[in-house]
Amino acid sequence: MKGTVIKSTGKWYIVKLEDDRLIDCRIKGKFRLGKLKLTNPIAVGDIVWVDPEKGLDTGMISKLYPRTNYVLRQSTRKKHFMHLLAANIDQAFVIVTIQNPMLKPGFIDRFLLTTESHNIPSYIIVNKSDIYTDDDKVIQKGLAALYEEIGYKTILVSAFTGEGIDELKALLKGKITLLSGHSGVGKSSIVNAVDKELDISTQEISEYSGKGIHTTTFSQMYELKKGGFIIDTPGIKEMGFINMEPMDVAHNFREIFDCSEHCKYGNCLHVNEPQCAVKEAVESGAISILRYQSYLSVLDDIFNQNYWERHTDW
């Protein structure tokens, strides 16, 4: 029987069959994603074939259908492994806040790098507008200007007051949407505001650390009353890129890639090379220094953490 994985809890997967029945499943055999080492070979959103187990209300996943796309993050426990967040999605929302918890622009850039490489339309959702000071609002407007200049729409919302929620509902209708962000930014609260019947558990920010408390421990897909699906994911602490080469990074920062055609060298990484159009654009302000710093940070991670280990013949 064919179905869609709607929840992953480690060794067990909940699959929604084509007749709308739900069945708990395990994996039969091994599934790989190219040469990548994965902590979870099956992800929420995957289309699979299930063989029911005789006399039991469980099944075995025996086949994985080809994915149209997927989103990865580096495993927090195994640095040489990747973790699948979701597969076969139509779009992605990265949820951020200006404060409570504080904004980390570098995380936005790292998340967009994971979706850009698979041509997944992505939106930046700035939550908790109801608590922002005048200074916070200035930062939010600057953030929106920066990302909309390079083609990423930014939406200001409040799960508490309902600001921007109708715009989100319109975007979500009929689509499979991945929600991601740091713990505490209000992913679950946004889902509840979009569809009150879901009633997903939420928690407050830790007063001790000022950081979010994990409320979503496993990725899960929810069907929306007015059409569409949301995939809510656990809060992400950081994004790693052991799956990428340096040139992959250069090709998936939109404005850097667009500008790179004017560099002297075709394989320019825009770091120390002469006659680099990207560095000139940064100096002139045509490319944001913040985005460029994020770009350099990702390159540093790749070179320092894993690049030479994967190229031992050099």
Residue ranges covered by each domain of the chain:
2-64, 87-232, 246-310
| 269-291 pLDDT, tens digit each | 999 999 999 999 999 999 999 99
Select from 56, 44, 41 the least CA-distant residue to 16: 44
Read off the pLDDT of residues 92-141 as tens digits, 9 standing for 90 and up: 999 999 999 999 889 999 999 999 999 999 999 999 999 999 999 999 99
The total of other beta-carbon atoms located within 10 Å of residue 180's CB is 27
pLDDT in tens, 30-80: 777 777 788 888 999 999 999 999 888 899 999 999 999 999 887 777 777
Tell me which of 60 and 311 has the higher pLDDT: 60
Q: What is the pTM assigned to this prediction?
A: 0.88
Give the residue carrying structure tokens 């979701």.
Answer: 86
Residue type for position 144: A
For residues 50 and 15, is the Cβ–Cβ distance under 8 A? yes
Structure-block tokens of residue 91: 């779009």
Please report the pLDDT score of residue 202 as a whole number: 54
SS3 content of the chain, % helix, strand, coil (to 5): 30, 25, 45
Considering the domain 2-64 in this protein, what is its CATH number? 2.40.50.140
What pLDDT is attached to residue 313?
44
Per CATH, the number for 87-232 is: 3.40.50.300
CB within 8 Å of 92: residues ≥ 6 apart: 71, 111, 115, 120, 121, 122, 123, 177, 178, 179, 180
SS3 state at 138: helix
Q: Once rounded to an integer, what is the mean pLDDT over residues 83-91?
A: 93
CATH 1.10.40.50: does it fit domain 246-310? yes
Q: How many CB atoms lie within 10 A of CB 9?
A: 12
